[in-house]
Amino acid sequence: MTRERLYLFDTTLRDGQQTQGVDFSADDKTRIGNALDALGIDYIEGGWPGANPTDSDYFDTSPKFKHATFTAFGMTKRAGRSAANDDVLAAVLNANTPAVCLVGKTHDFHVTTALGITLDENIENIDASVKHIVAQRREALFDCEHFFDGYKANPDYALKAAKTAYDAGARWVVLCDTNGGAMPADVQKATSALIALGVPGDHIGIHTHNDTEHAVANSLAAVNAGARQIQGTLNGLGERCGNANLTTLIPTLLLKEPYASAYETGVKPSALGGLTQISRMLDDILNRVPHKQAAYVGASAFAHKAGLHASAILKDPSTYEHIPPETVGNARIIPMSNQAGQSNLRERLSKAGLSVEKGDPRLGKMLEKVKQREDEGYAYDSAQASFEILARRVLGELPKFFDIKRYRVTVERRKNKRDKMVTISEAVVVAKIGDHKVLSVSESMDNEGKDRGPVNALSKALAKDLGPYQAVIDDMKLVDFKVRITNGGVEAVTRVIIEHKDSKGVHWSTVGVSPNIVDASFEALLDAINWKLIHDGVMPV
């Protein structure tokens, strides 16, 4: 059976940039754009040339994609001037991209209220703007802003605005759920109405927002009605609650029926294995902790915590997995927790290179220890590296790299040379490495002279001089530090979970628990260092 072509349009670099807290540099855009092209995305919208220096700089680099059509975004010309005389439109065209996507109003309320012009003037703006793009021999796309709300309020006008763009030569008329409030049935109905009016489905695109968590469902509803282009972003970035998540839509289109048999996209099955890595790369660029429960690519997407699940997974993974995790470049995890049985335990141990026979009494002892510690506040499902350290300790297989003799942290509030009150934390750690005693002192100041607190001072002192292990420890980078009070009131217990990564891209998490936040942090730090030394194959001196 021949499959119909479904086009994927990425707007991570444009609508994704409209996410609160996201500010790409031109170099970030280059990295992301190249990754999207390698993945097989058909259109990459780079931003709005002329709107800000970063977007203009990125367009100045004139990216040359192997697969994707590079697209500039802008808005229709303003009323009262010709398209050729609109300076905002001119800046967009001056970027010289093969495709140009213009947003325009299709909801009568927005025309009269936001633009303050007549409904006819708006139709003329759409017509003239699209014709101007086509006359410049560019592929024209028209984003029908607020199309679904407009269709509800005044269906004739919304349809007329969309049809005007098509008649003026737009290759794609993109129906936008700008405020993100449409339901799948609304999308299906309005898309079908435009097709019935004479705009073919293979000229219709869909652009949805996630304000009701329906962005993916609404994109599929439009495809079901006949649309053949989907716009979205990596990891669902985008204005407010985000756009349709391409990281979810791509595997769904390639792996799930009826889409997999009916449609072909530019993303080939062989490229799908790189999806998790691209998703994590974006988080890395944004300095964000990846969303663990993200569909397909989240670290928990294939984590089997419950004992019953883990026991069946070991017999056949398809018992509790909708797809094999490797298909999207993800990995299966069997975490340890108070929900676990011996199956979870043996699987985790074998992943750590520790083989224990079924029925070994140490398994029962270890499971009891894990459940008892979870009761005290530890959380091993989020701190697999600490579980490994605990298991090695119970099995008598934890190498002794060094011994901490003592540590001390002081916090002082004092006036500095400029007579300004400052807080300074200082930590001292005394460690014994073989026969050698090492004393390290560190302050909490960062490179800009800002106080980073007692835990930071302690971490720096601990990692400052561990003699023969130093090169391995210097390769550790703290990426996340979470503190949680697990018991309220005067008996409060603090749980600290920290995440590290190294230059090989390996991430590992450790946990510490104590009524004292410094002790809890120190325990998690020690586990992190021991885990790294073990995993780098370091021998104790």
Quote the least distance from Cβ 115 to ligand ACO, whole Å.
5
Contact criterion met (CB below 8 Å) for 169 and 141 = no
145 near ligand CC(=O)C(=O)O (CB under 6 A): yes
Binding mask 174-193 for ligand ACO (x = CB under 6 A): ----x---------------
E strand intervals along 178-220:
204-208
Burial 189-212 (b: 16+ CB within 10 A, else e): bbbbbbeeeebebebbbbbbbbbb
145 near ligand ACO (CB under 6 A): yes
Residue selected from 75, 162, 370, 383 as contacting ligand ACO according to rule CB under 6 A? 75
# of chain residues touching ligand CC(=O)C(=O)O (CB under 6 A): 8
Q: Binding partner of residue 78 among ligand CC(=O)C(=O)O, ligand ACO, none, CB under 5 to 8 Å per kind?
A: ligand ACO
Nearer Cβ to ligand ACO, position 115 or 438? 115
How far is residue 92's CA from residue 122's CA, in Å, rounded to a whole number?
19
Q: Binding partner of residue 232 among ligand ACO, ligand CC(=O)C(=O)O, none, CB under 5 to 8 Å per kind?
A: none
How far is residue 310's CA from residue 354's CA, in Å, rounded to a whole number?
18
Nearer Cβ to ligand ACO, position 6 or 130? 130
Contact criterion met (CB below 8 Å) for 358 and 314 = no
Q: Binding partner of residue 48 among ligand CC(=O)C(=O)O, ligand ACO, none, CB under 5 to 8 Å per kind?
A: ligand ACO
* CB-CB neighbours of 110 under 10 Å: 18
Residues 404-463 that bind ligand CC(=O)C(=O)O (CB under 6 A): none
Residues 6+ apart with CB under 8 A from 156: none
Quote the least distance from Cβ 167 to ligand ACO, whole Å.
18
Contact criterion met (CB below 8 Å) for 92 and 129 = no
Q: Is 78 helix (H, G, I), strand (E, B) or coil?
A: coil
H-helix segments, 396-475: 454-462, 470-474
Residues 6+ apart with CB under 8 A from 134: 140, 168, 169, 170
Amino acid identity at 288: R
210 near ligand ACO (CB under 6 A): no
10 near ligand CC(=O)C(=O)O (CB under 6 A): no
Nearer Cβ to ligand CC(=O)C(=O)O, position 15 or 374? 15
**377's tokens:** 């506040």
How far is residue 337's CA from residue 215's CA, in Å, rounded to a whole number?
34
How far is residue 349's CA from residue 367's CA, in Å, rounded to a whole number?
12
In this structure, the strands spanning 229-232 and 7-10 are parallel
H-helix segments, 396-509: 454-462, 470-474
If you count DSSP H runs as helices and E runs as strands, how many of each does the chain have, helices first? 20, 16
Q: Binding partner of residue 186 among ligand ACO, ligand CC(=O)C(=O)O, none, CB under 5 to 8 Å per kind?
A: none
H-helix segments, 112-179: 119-135, 147-153, 155-167
Q: Binding partner of residue 304 among ligand CC(=O)C(=O)O, ligand ACO, none, CB under 5 to 8 Å per kind?
A: none
C-beta nearest to ligand ACO: residue: 51
Nearer Cβ to ligand ACO, position 103 or 472? 103
E strand intervals along 285-420:
403-415
Residue selected from 7, 43, 48, 172 as contacting ligand ACO according to rule CB under 6 A? 48
Nearer Cβ to ligand ACO, position 83 or 457? 83
Nearer Cβ to ligand CC(=O)C(=O)O, position 147 or 401? 147
19 near ligand CC(=O)C(=O)O (CB under 6 A): no
Q: What residues make contact with ligand ACO under the rule CB under 6 A?
A: 15, 18, 48, 51-52, 75-76, 78, 103-105, 114-115, 145, 178, 239
> Which residues bind to ligand CC(=O)C(=O)O, rule: CB under 6 A?
15, 103, 143, 145, 176, 178, 207, 209
